[in-house]
Amino acid sequence: MRIISGKYKGQQIYSAKDQSIRPTTDRIKEYIFNVLGDFVLDALVLDLFCGSGNLGLEAISRGAKSVTFVDKSQNSLRVLRRNIHRLKMIEPYTVVRKDVLTFLRQNKQPFDLIFADPPFKWNRYIELLPLVFLPENLTEFGIFVLESERTHDIEWETNVYEVIQQKQFDRSLITFFGRKGVV
């Protein structure tokens, strides 16, 4: 795994040795950031189920203002801290060890860009999506990027949010969401 573009371009980052973390592949990551383009610049970013920090670190490298990493796994956060140290990252960041749903229920600082890459076996999307779109979690013009297993049955559009773009990669489905009527 590596940082694809920006300040830390080409830097290798660690993943868990025991494969307990399923990192977003470089191919998928490149697609995500090509779609986002300059939206990342100066964005406040939230990386849920952060694992190794792959998506949040890429966002920082591409000019995000700050990133908050959230994961409940101590192993994931250990790998993340190794990656932050390896990059000698000086940009503002926060690391939170907490269940993602609990974090979203308690958060009071909205983010411009939220990534979520839950384990493929995770199936609590019906709780996740409404929480992400609370005004205390996502800014009015914010974007939510979800990587899920393509076979999950997810309520893709409601009266609050809509799918902006979606693409399949092998087992993964990448979905970009925005507030309905705003994007």
- Write out pLDDT tens, residues 18-36: 555 566 888 999 999 999 9
- Predicted pLDDT of residue 82: 95
- Predicted pLDDT of residue 17: 67
- CB-neighbour burial class of residue 45 (10 A; exposed 0-12, middle 13-18, buried 19+): buried
pLDDT band at 93 (very low <50, low <70, confident <90, very high): very high
* CATH for 26-142 (3.40.50.2300, 3.40.50.150, 3.30.70.100, 2.40.50.140): 3.40.50.150
| pLDDT tens-place string over residues 45-61 | 999 999 999 999 999 99
For 132, how many CA atoms within 13 A lie in the half-sphere containing its CB? 30
- Tell me if 52 sits within 8 A of 81, measured CB to CB: no
| pLDDT tens-place string over residues 133-174 | 999 999 999 999 999 988 776 767 778 888 999 999 988 899
AA identity, residue 73? S
Dump the DSSP string for 50-116. -TT-HHHHHHHHTT-SEEEEEES-HHHHHHHHHHHHHHT--S-EEEEES-HHHHHHH--S-EEEEEE
pLDDT band at 120 (very low <50, low <70, confident <90, very high): confident
Q: How far apart are the first and last CA of the chain?
A: 32
AA identity, residue 106? Q
